[in-house]
């Protein structure tokens, strides 16, 4: 197990400098919202906090599946300190593909959809995570997941969890919290989650709702 520490520099050094600069130059003037993910140092610092929040900086090696893994920053840090990682994301944004490739994060291309099971991964995970979720609403934000969709999703996630596996979600609640309705909070609580702001932790899988 490698120490995570406060200094992100040793992890930045692991990244191909030329490749990163080339990506950053290409996206420097991009109007695309996701171009912000080219600021690798900023996102590594942010996800270092998530690694700590989950105690993964002080844990034996775990297998981790990150849903909507984006540029792969969280998983890159986890991998660097000794965990086995796998990401899942759509392939709509070339920058995100370029970043996971640069960081060496394995990824399944898959679109999470309401009431549709995840693909098989051929193994179970100690942790399933999702940060700043986007999959729980459609592209126009017209349909947002409610109790039924989350219930289905959590039942499905249970299939992919190792014994004593945990789930951590950071829900993007939206400006008026409309992406995280009270009925969903209640469902999470019923299924045994601890809620803190937009963080949801199922410390022991998730019970059926
Ligand atoms: C706000 S970004 C967060 C990225 C990353 N989790 C992070 O915190 O750095 C949302 C991510 O979810 C992905 N995403 C959006 N809809 C998705 C879907 N239906 N299935 C899988 N991934 C999705 C996006 O491609 C993007 O990578």
pLDDT digit string, tens, across residues 151-175: 999 999 999 999 999 999 999 999 8
Report the separation in Å between the CA atom of 136 and the middle of ligand 1, taken as the mean of its atom positions. 10
Is residue 3 assigned to a domain? no
Substitution candidate for ligand 1 out of 66, 90, 153, 157 with most atoms within 8 A of CB: 90
For residue 207, name the pLDDT band (cuts at 50, 70, 90). confident
Q: Would you give the DSSP letter of residue 120? A: P
79 lies in some domain: yes
Closest CA relative to residue 75, chosen from 130, 29, 8: 130
**Protein residue whose Cα sits closest to atom 9 of ligand 1:** 70
Residue 64 CA to ligand 1 centre (angstroms): 16
204 CA to centre of ligand 1 in angstroms: 24
pTM for this prediction: 0.97
In a domain, residue 119? The reply is yes
The protein residue with its alpha carbon nearest to ligand 1, atom 12, reads 68
Chain-centre distance for alpha carbon 68: 5
Q: Residue 59 class from Cβ within 10 Å (0-12 exposed, 13-18 middle, 19+ buried)?
A: middle
Angle of helix 73-80 versus helix 94-103 axis, rounded to 10: 10
Is 209 part of any domain?
Answer: no
**What is residue 177's predicted lDDT score, i.e. its pLDDT?**
87
Domain count, the chain: 1
Judge whether 94 lies within some domain.
yes
Would the CB of 145 count as within 6 Å of ligand 1? no
Give domain status of residue 207, yes or no: no
Residues 194 and 188: beta-carbon distance below 8 Å: no
pLDDT at 101: 98
Worst-scoring range by mean pLDDT, 12-16, 114-118, 137-141?
Answer: 137-141
| pLDDT, mean of residues 135-154 | 95
130, part of any domain: yes
* Residue 70: predicted pLDDT: 98
Cα angle, residue 130 at apex, residues 127 and 131 outer, rounded to 5°: 130
* pLDDT score of 183 more than 70: yes
Residue 208 lies in a domain: no
pLDDT, mean of residues 197-206: 91
Phi first, then psi, for residue 16 (nearest 5°) are -60, 110
Two tokens, residue 154: 């959590």
The whole domain housing 182 covers 9-202
Question: What CATH number does residue 90 fall under?
Answer: 3.40.50.150
130: left (phi over 0), alpha (psi -120 to 50) or beta: beta
For ligand 1, whether the C-beta of 4 sits within 6 Å is no
Best residue among 70, 93, 136, 140 to mutate for probing ligand 1, ranked by most atoms within 8 Å of CB: 70
């Amino acid at each position: 197990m490698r120490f995570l520490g406060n200094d992100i520099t040793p992890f930045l050094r692991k990244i191909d400098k030329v490749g990163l600069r080339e990506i950053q130059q290409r996206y420097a003037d991009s109007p695309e919202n996701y171009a912000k993910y080219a600021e690798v140092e900023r996102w590594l610092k942010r996800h270092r906090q998530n690694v700590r929040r989950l105690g993964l900086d002080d844990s034996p090696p775990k297998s981790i599946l990150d849903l909507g893994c984006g540029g792969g920053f969280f998983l890159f840090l986890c991998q660097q300190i000794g965990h086995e990682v796998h990401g899942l994301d759509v392939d709509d944004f070339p920058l995100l593909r370029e970043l996971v490739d640069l960081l060496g994060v394995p990824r399944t291309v898959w679109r999470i959809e309401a009431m549709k099971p995840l693909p098989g991964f051929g193994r179970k995970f100690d942790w399933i995570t999702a940060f700043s979720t986007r999959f729980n609403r459609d592209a126009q934000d017209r349909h947002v997941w409610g109790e039924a969709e989350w219930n289905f999703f959590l039942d499905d996630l249970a299939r992919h969890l190792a014994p004593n596996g945990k789930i951590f979600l950071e829900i993007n609640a939206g400006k008026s919290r409309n992406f995280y309705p009270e009925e969903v909070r209640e469902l999470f609580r019923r299924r045994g989650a601890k809620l803190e702001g937009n963080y949801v932790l199922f410390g022991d899988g998730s019970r059926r709702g």
